[in-house]
């Protein structure tokens, strides 16, 4: 279900004092992604600034994404939190709105013990909506160990993991440990997508696909058509963009890149701040390679 290129979409805001969500721009951005062949959409992830969205806004963004996609591709809604009860609320809402699955970041700040992590993910998986775990130690301060992911993969409601540990050996161990499961290992790092596909991963939840969805889809398609040299060529073509997406904290650079492309983006919300002039110039230089 969750295979291929899934852009982790930005949430565009208006440049007004309240920084209201630009829902027209959100829909236009999604239609652009669909026109470029993406295989799914991820609203309300880290790239969508979910941490600064109110409960109401969170649900409105997911609803707008589902309505715009209109069944053409799966919608994997970000519904995680470091508060299990809050994550349950978000996940139930996403299910009721018609999301195809929920992306659940491992609880940040709390640093739960192993038993707590198992209970957290099990509670959410019992809600009867497919759950994709999200391992991103750089944001949560805690790595989901391969044996824990393998254990949780036995739950029928947990269908995959977005792996953003940056540890290719760990990712290989997760794939090895879940070969007998109907379990998807998805890259959470654009630059590691091709190596992860080679190990047996099934796709990417991508920041760069907000900017270059067609090229990301082409890389994936070439790989699955056994055209590895072509896929590798696109990987290296896109590598400067992959790096540029992290010249500052995500999603600061990608929102600026989308804005420079003339699409809806707007500001980031505090405590993030906009890209400075020097980095904006560097980003513009990278984008010019793909014009």
Q: Which domains does the chain have, with CATH numbers?
A: 4-232+264-270 (3.20.20.70)
Distances (CA, A) of 166 to 6, 195, 216, 228: 18, 11, 19, 22
Contact 3, 202 (CB under 8 A): yes
Tell me if residue 101 falls in helix, strand or coil.
strand
User: What's the pLDDT score for residue 99?
Assistant: 98
The H or E element containing residue 31 is helix 23-35
Could you give the CA distance from residue 101 to residue 87 in angstroms, rounded to a whole number? 13
Q: What is the pLDDT along the chain (291 residues), one digit of tens a residue?
A: 899 999 999 999 999 999 999 999 999 999 999 999 999 999 999 999 999 999 999 999 999 999 999 999 999 999 999 999 999 999 999 999 999 999 999 999 999 999 999 999 999 999 999 999 999 999 999 999 999 999 999 999 999 999 999 999 999 999 999 998 899 999 999 999 999 999 999 999 999 999 999 999 999 999 999 999 999 999 999 999 999 999 999 999 999 999 999 999 999 999 999 999 999 999 999 999 998
Q: Does residue 166 come out as left (phi exceeding 0), alpha (psi in the -120 to 50 range) or beta?
A: left
The number of angstroms, rounded, from the C-alpha of 85 to the middle of its chain's C-alpha atoms is: 22
Could you give the CA distance from residue 192 to residue 269 in angstroms, rounded to a whole number? 28
Q: Computed from CA positions of residues 133, 138, 141, 144, in that sequence, does the dihedral angle turn out positive or negative?
A: positive
Could you give the CA distance from residue 239 to residue 217 in angstroms, rounded to a whole number? 15
User: What's the pLDDT score for residue 87?
Assistant: 97
- Pick the closest to residue 161 from 76, 51, 50 (CA basis): 76
Query: What's this model's pTM, rounded to 2 decimal places?
Result: 0.96
- Pick the closest to residue 46 from 175, 140, 155 (CA basis): 140
Active site residues: 134, 162
What lies within 8 Å, CB to CB, of 266 at 6+ separation is 12, 13, 14, 15, 19, 22, 25, 255, 259
**Backbone angles phi and psi of 68, in degrees to 5:** -70, -40
């Amino acid at each position: 279900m969750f295979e291929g290129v899934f852009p982790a979409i930005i949430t565009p805001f208006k440049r007004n004092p309240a920084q209201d969500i630009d829902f027209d721009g959100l829909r236009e951005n999604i239609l652009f992604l669909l026109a470029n062949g993406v295989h799914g959409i991820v609203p309300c992830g880290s790239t969508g600034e979910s941490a600064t969205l109110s409960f109401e806004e969170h649900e409105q963004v997911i609803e707008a994404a589902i309505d715009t996609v209109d069944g053409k591709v799966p919608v994997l809604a970000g519904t995680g939190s470091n508060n299990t009860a809050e994550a349950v609320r978000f996940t139930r809402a996403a299910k009721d709105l018609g999301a195809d699955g929920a992306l659940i970041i491992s609880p940040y700040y709390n640093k739960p013990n192993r038993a707590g992590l198992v209970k957290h993910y099990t509670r959410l998986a019992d809600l009867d909506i497919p759950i994709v775990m999200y391992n991103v130690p750089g944001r949560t301060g805690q790595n989901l160990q391969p044996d824990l992911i393998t254990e949780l993969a036995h739950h029928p409601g947990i269908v995959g993991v977005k792996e953003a540990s940056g540890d290719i050996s760990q990712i290989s161990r997760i794939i090895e440990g879940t070969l007998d499961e109907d379990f998807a290992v998805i890259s959470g790092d654009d630059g590691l997508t091709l190596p992860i596909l080679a190990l047996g991963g099934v796709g990417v939840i991508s920041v760069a696909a907000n900017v270059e969805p067609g090229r990301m889809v082409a890389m994936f398609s070439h790989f699955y058509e056994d055209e590895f040299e072509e896929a590798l060529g696109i990987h290296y073509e896109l590598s400067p963009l992959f790096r540029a997406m992290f010249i500052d904290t995500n999603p600061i650079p990608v929102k600026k890149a989308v804005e420079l492309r003339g699409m809806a983006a707007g500001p980031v919300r505090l405590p993030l701040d906009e890209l400075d002039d020097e980095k904006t110039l560097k980003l513009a230089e990278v984008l010019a390679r793909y014009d």
